Each structure stands twice: as C-alpha cells, then as structure tokens.
Copies of this chain bind each other. A is one copy, B any other.
Amino acid sequence: MNAALRAVVRAALGRGAEVIGFNHGYEGLINDESRNLDSPSVGGIIDRGGTILRTARSAAFMTREGRDQAMAVLIKNGCEGLVVIGGDGSLTGALKLQEEFDYPVCGVPGSIDNDISGTDFSIGFDTAVNTAVDAIDRVRDTAYSHERVFVIEVMGRRNGFIALEAGLAGGAEAILVPEMPFSLPDIGAELLEAASKGKRSSIIVVAEGAAKADDVREALSECTGFECRAVVLGHMQRGGSPTAFDRVLALRLGHLATNRLLSGFRGEMAGLAGNLLVSHPLTFVLSSERQIDPEKLLLSEAMAQ
C-alpha cells in the first residue's frame, strides 16, 4: 500500500497537483484527519508493510449522512478528486461518492486475497503468497524429519487464490479450495498409497473458505492412522516487507490511477491485464468476479503424483 501511496503522490506532484492524505480511510475522511503529502513524506516507505495512513472500518460511511459529511470534508479541503486504495469494500465506497455526488474518484486494487475483478493481480497478493510459502517450507522441514502429515490453512474465505498459488509453490500433495469439490477419504487413500511407496510425509494446503485445518487433520488422521498436524497461518500472512513484484505493481497502478484521474477520467480502477496496464469502470469491476485459473488446478493435480 505504501508503494501505491508513493506513486499517487509523486505522479500528482509531477503534474502540478497537491496531495492530501486522510488517515484511517473513510472514517478519517469523515473526521477530517487530513495530512499534507509532499514528496519527502512518501520517501523511505517503499519497503514497509502496512500503510502509513493506517486504516479502519467505517460504519458511518455506510450511511448517507456519513457520506454527506465525507463530501463536506473533501470540499472543505479543496480536494478535486479522490484516489482510493483498497479492496471491494473501499472501491464500493468510492463508487458511491461518484454516483451520489458525481465526485471524481479512481480506484487502486489492494487485496491480499486477489479477489478483485478487472485486474490479474491485486497489491499484496504476491507478498502474502511468498509469506505462506516460506511458512510451508519451514513446516516441510519438520514434516520430512518427523514423517508426518501437515495440514496448513491459508487465507481465502471466498476463494482459493492464495491456497492454489502457495500450494503449488510449496509442493503440496493436495490443495483444497472453495471452488472445487474434494473428498477427504480420497485424499486419505492417496496418502496411504503414497506411504506404501515409501513416501511418509505430506503437506496439504487448505483455503480457510474450503475447510478448517483441524477438521481436515481429524478426518485424514482417522482414514489413514497417520500422525497429522494442523497449522493455521492466520494474520501472520499479512504485513512484512513487500516483494519486488508487489512494489512495482503498486507503483504502476498508483501512477496510472492518478494520471487517469488528473486527465479527467472518472469512476475507474487501474488494473493489470497480463503485463499491460488497463483501467476498467468500477461498475464493471464490482459486478463481476475473478475466477480461479483452471490450468493451475490441473497443474496441481499433475504435480501431486
């Protein structure tokens, strides 16, 4: 997020605009927690996780009164447009400002779940996947040394993007995602067969939206009789210094969104399509859903042999 902020600020300054930031997201916008953002204020932050502006959920912004107040603050501060960095909820809020007040907004997709339509990658996803893979690598050392089955639960309530990517990269024997039905007895049978060929340790990666690690552990333990352990990565997957990919992505999307807004485009979200930058209407982004890549699902099966 900090890299995106850096890009927004420097792109705007480069075109002669001034930039004001609001702490605590929409809540801070309503409460006028503004701060001036000049070029040095976003120096030295590109390697930091989280966001220097902090964030907060805002119940008030869900109401029309809250948004009226937010608009008043924007006008009071002389803001002529708003760049919003965040996930579905934040982007929906931006679209409301645009629709209700015809106020110029532009979105930058930030979501470690990578569940935002209109872009192949959201800011934070690559970092979260690498953090999960690092944890899987550590667990694999123990799985190998102790010859056990480990069930590792990663983030992803509604989808399996992190699970699929981290499972592939972590060399998991099975990957459970909400998008695909699975059978724990079948997986247990595969573990038994693998064990009969001498393979005594296995890693199962499961998206939190597909099953609870502990339930999978118990079920596999019962079918196989093997010692199974569950690990829930949880909030450890957030934060940490962002990967190079995420930093460059954030710079590119923040830069594009700001330039589009300053050039008069409105109600769009900057995104990546392959290696190219695109900008889609927020109405499109928020009414469609990213699908998991079937090629990668097939790949995970082929690799598990």
Contact = CB atoms under 8 A, between A and B. Distances in A.
B171 A245 contact: no
Contact of A146 (B55, B120, B237): B55
B11 A137 contact: no
Interface stretch (A40-48, A75-83, A95-103, A176-184): A40-48
Contact of A305 (B10, B47, B169, B251): B10
A274 B48 CA distance: 28
Given A231-B235, A255-B302, A276-B274, A138 B142 contact: no
User: How many identical chains are in the complex?
Assistant: 4
Contacts of A293: 275
A203 B125 CA distance: 24
Interface stretch (A126-134, A218-226, A279-287): A126-134
Interface string A209-244: 000000000000000000001111111111111011
A199 B40 contact: yes
A198 to B, nearest CB: 7
Contacts of A255: 299, 302-303
A262 interface: no
A292 interface: no
- Residue from the set A135, A166, A233 with the largest chain B CB neighbour count within 10 Å: A135
Interface in A183-221: 197-199
A125 to B, nearest CB: 10
A236 B169 contact: no
Contacts of A56: 146-147
Contacts of A138: 49, 131, 235-240
Contacts of A198: 40
B130 A243 contact: yes
The list of the 8 closest CB pairs from A to B, nearest first, reads: A274-B274, A141-B239, A49-B141, A50-B145, A138-B239, A50-B141, A169-B244, A169-B247
Interface of A: 1, 3, 6-7, 10-11, 13-14, 24, 39-40, 43-44, 46-51, 54-56, 120, 126, 129-135, 137-142, 144-147, 150, 165-166, 168-171, 197-199, 229-241, 243-245, 247-248, 251-252, 255, 273-277, 293, 295-296, 299, 302-303, 305
Given A14-B302, A141-B238, A229-B235, 7 more contacts: A54-B145, A129-B244, A133-B247, A139-B235, A165-B244, A248-B296, A277-B295
25 contacts: A14-B305, A40-B199, A47-B140, A49-B142, A54-B146, A120-B274, A120-B275, A129-B244, A129-B245, A130-B244, A132-B244, A137-B240, A138-B236, A138-B238, A141-B240, A145-B239, A165-B244, A165-B248, A169-B248, A248-B296, A251-B299, A252-B299, A255-B302, A274-B276, A275-B293
